[in-house]
Amino acid sequence: MREVRVERLGLRGDGLAADGLRVPLALPGEVVRGPVADGVLAPVEILEAAPELVEPPCPHFGTCGGCALQHASDGFLAAWKREAVARALAAQGLAAEVGPVRVSPPRSRRRAVFAARRTRKGAAVGFHGRRSAEIVDVPGCLLVRPELIAARPALAEVARVGASRSGALRCTVTLSEGGLDVEVAGGKPLDAGLRRELVGVAGAAGFARLAWEGEPVATLRPPAQRIGRARVTPPPGAFLQATAEGEAALVAAVREGVGGARRVADLFAGCGAFALPLAEAAEVHAVEGDAAMLAALDAGWRGAEGLRRVTTEARDLFRRPLLPGELARFEAAALDPPRAGAEAQARALAASKVGVAAAVSCNPASFARDAAILVAAGFRLGAVEVIDQFRWSGHVELAARLAR
């Protein structure tokens, strides 16, 4: 048993003692006691509580591993996420105004990954437990859309027919205009018999689409997403912003960031979350490493009305960033890279004549590194917006404009 004072929160939302000991479900300033194993103090007995401690609103908090910070007040979480951005900027010698946090409401996550496993009595469906492979049922989840929670019995049936005896399925469920879009990984090999059973399950559940290891096995309705004026049908399991509210905030920030630019490069474009709205006022060249996502973007653009020209290019921007000469025809660039950031592309932008970069990031540290490259080349970092699509987690997203 050890007794420690929690000094700060780590990136995952766990409390940290002065010596780096992790203390899950504890807040800065609290004095706690508990057993220690593998650098983690748990379970926690709170001896002195922090004033920011609140009663977690979800009945599953503590056993479910999906949320890390429901025991902290909303005001504390917002301040902590703003501070995380400011600290990341300061580490690179940057300073900027960090605006208020825009938090997506409860029950707004339109995409979630459920675990599903066969059991002797049927199947278990839910989220993994805290620091555990156990699957916790979450009928009262306050994070995701109710339509996703209601899919649990159907996912149990998917597990019953398609899961092996030893492993858990990874079921990515996305709410679309046509209904639930389900992509399953980790199951039995797909043969004719399994395909027939899965088609039956999808039909009974009313899924818009059911895919197995990326291959569609049943499509009852197009699992389309409305992106600006376009309807886009992403490939199975494709990346999508976590909430409609968060996506709207990010799109607004990118639109404002590129300003009146007439020609825009959308880098790490995905299925067009920014390219298609930007095409309402500008010609856009969308670059993305996944050809299937670009095909979905292109089809959505061709089926929409009132959009300017959108061209696409499948390209790995980590290995082959757009070079200064290729960027010469653009007035602005939009960037939304994965967590690793866009260091190579930032260096090419810094050496180009592009005057404006509208940047979106899910990692303040890699954003600050890339922004510092641009600032050293003459760009100025404007105000940073913090957009929280991952309520009650340590995840931080941001958007900012950099202009020469």
Q: Confirm if 220 and 203 have CB atoms less than 8 A apart.
A: yes
Cross-strand pairs, 356: 332, 403
**CA-closest candidate to residue 119, choices 154, 149, 156:** 156
The span from the first CA to the last CA of the chain, in angstroms, equals: 56
Token pair, residue 178, equals 């046509």
Q: Which residues are catalytic?
A: 362
Q: Which two tokens stand for residue 376?
A: 């050293």
CA–CA gap between residue 284 and residue 333 (Å, rounded) = 9
DSSP per residue, 160-211: HHH--SS--EEEEEEEETTEEEEEEES-----HHHHHHHHHHHHHHT-SEEE
Token readout for 10 is 């780590």
Query: How far apart are alpha carbons 93 and 90 in whole angstroms?
Result: 5
Residue 34 to residue 293: CA distance in whole angstroms: 48
Say if CB 179 and CB 159 are below 8 A apart. no
